[in-house]
Amino acid sequence: MNMDILFMRRCLELAVLSAGKTSPNPMVGAVIVYQNEIIGEGYTAPYGGPHAEVNAINQVISRFGEEQAKAYFAESSIYVSLEPCAHYGKTPPCADLIVSMGFKRAVIACQDPFAKVNGLGIQKLQEAGITTELGVLEEEARWVNRRFFTKLEKFRPYVILKWAETVDGYFSPIEGQQRWISNKVSKQLVHKWRAEEDAILVGKNTALIDNPSLTVRDWEGRNPKRVLIDKNLAVPASFSIMDEQAETIVFNAIKTDWRGHLKFVELENFDLYLPQQILYQLYLMDIQSLIIEGGKKTLDLFIQAGLWDEARIFTGAGAWNSGVKAPEIYGKEIARQAVGSDTLTVLIPS
């Protein structure tokens, strides 16, 4: 195997270890290689903390001391899954650090589209005389940071649709009652997903029928922001979605009022381009990713608008023979796997 591919694959493995912790920053992995051996590696710390390159460099310095580390760096390649930053943000520019440490070579998976980087990090490395390679496992690296790229390139969060349906294609009982389809293992997986995304959205009917808390209970991680579509503010303040376990954003047609963890956002012309309005408002709130767990009406709203990036569909083992039919969606299947007795299918737009 090409050694650049091997070491970049390790960068991507490291990057995903920070899933759900770096937003609005990207997930990045870095590996330092001396004489074809990894001597240091790191990944992005939670938002505001050191970037992957800093953690990898500090690991080498901690192991060998600064003088010996710099001697190694002069003959080493640093592999990074995203272009090193070139600007001052919460931390100093990583490109400047790589230059100051005197690396011989830098291998980068893909360019950072953020305006304050976007080629400037690569330029700094090249101007310092560092041999620079770009595009190793680029497609895979863009997939790891698909939320980050979507926000910057489409000015909206990355949208994940999620639902469960029976083996004969039913979504919920006709009478609007609560009835479980997927198994406990699938439920735990959903809670893991919640911990990895910035926000989770449901509509008014789901909130009233299921009274969900939309928190992470069966997985370790932080609760996502909760987003509720409630035109006339029909969901009582006593319901779980309104409690203090997480910030809740309520899109409505009546008022704008931000108090503590509750943020009511009035949308003008509420029924006109509703999904577009919601996604743009969430973009302005720096929300990078959104998982939609709403009812059929809410899911169809985003499907029909073409505003989705990934659909995760559980198919349970049981048949109902009647009920509300599951949403219809068409896309490219990229994964299918068993989750206990359920089958999980993942689609992306074709």
**pLDDT tens per residue across span 254-280:** 999 999 999 999 999 999 999 999 999
CATH fold of 155-349 reads: Dihydrofolate Reductase, subunit A (3.40.430)
Q: Give me the active site residues, please.
A: 53
Instruction: Give CATH 3.40.140.10 domain extents, the chain.
Output: 3-150
* Start-end of CATH 3.40.430.10 domains in the chain: 155-349
Say what the pLDDT of residue 115 is: 62
Dihedral (CA of 61, 66, 68, 73) sign: positive
On whether 194 is known to bind a ligand per the annotation, the reply is yes
190-216 pLDDT, tens digit each: 999 999 999 999 999 999 999 999 999
What is the secondary structure of 202-255 as a DSSP string? EEHHHHHHH-------SSSSPPPEEEEE-TT--S-TTSGGGSTTS-EEEEESS-
Provide the strand spans (E) within the chain.
29-34, 37-43, 76-80, 105-108, 131-134, 158-165, 170-172, 199-203, 225-229, 248-252, 257-259, 262-266, 289-292, 310-315, 324-325, 332-339, 342-348
Q: What is the pLDDT of residue 252?
A: 98
Largest Cα span, the chain = 72
Measured in whole angstroms, the distance separating CA 72 from the mean position of its chain's CA atoms is 35
Q: Give the Cα separation of 120 and 116 in Å (integer).
A: 8
- How many angstroms separate the CA atoms of 111 and 104, rounded? 20
Q: Cα–Cα distance between 316 and 319 in angstroms, integer?
A: 8
Q: Which helix (H) or strand (E) holds 147?
A: helix 146-154
Instruction: Using DSSP, state whether 338 is helix, strand or coil.
Output: strand
CA angle 116-118-123, nearest 5°?
A: 100
Residue 338, CA atoms < 13 Å, CB-side half-sphere: 3
Judge whether 262 is annotated as a binding position.
no
Any bridge partners for residue 290, and if so which? 159, 199
**Which amino acid type is present at position 262?**
L
Say how far apart CA 177 and CA 173 lie, in whole Å.
Answer: 6
pLDDT band at 227 (very low <50, low <70, confident <90, very high): very high
Res. 310 pLDDT band, cuts 50 70 90: very high
- Whole-angstrom Cα distance, residue 30 to residue 159? 27
Q: Are 195 and 20 in contact (CB under 8 A)?
A: yes
Q: Is 30 marked as binding a ligand?
A: no
Q: Residue 129 contacts by C-beta under 8 Å, 6 or more apart in sequence? A: none
Mean pLDDT confidence for 6-23: 93
**Residue 217 pLDDT class (50, 70, 90 cuts):** confident
Local confidence band at 345 (pLDDT 50, 70, 90 cut-offs): very high
Mean per-residue pLDDT of the chain: 92
At 324 the pLDDT is: 86
Res 176: pLDDT: 60
Pairing assessment for the beta strands 342-348 and 310-315 based on DSSP bridges: antiparallel
Helix (H, G, I), strand (E, B) or coil at 77: strand
Count of positions (residues) in the chain: 350
206 annotated ligand binder: yes
Q: What is the per-residue pLDDT across 68-99, written as a single tens digit (0 to 9) for each?
A: 999 999 999 999 999 998 866 666 788 999 99
Does 85 carry a binding-site annotation? Answer: yes
Nearest 5°: the CA angle 327, 331, 334 is: 115
| CA-based nearest residue to 194, from 293, 310, 313 | 293
CATH numeric code, 3-150? 3.40.140.10
Is residue 117 over pLDDT 80? Answer: no
CA distance 103 to 129: 9
Q: What pLDDT score was predicted for residue 91?
A: 65
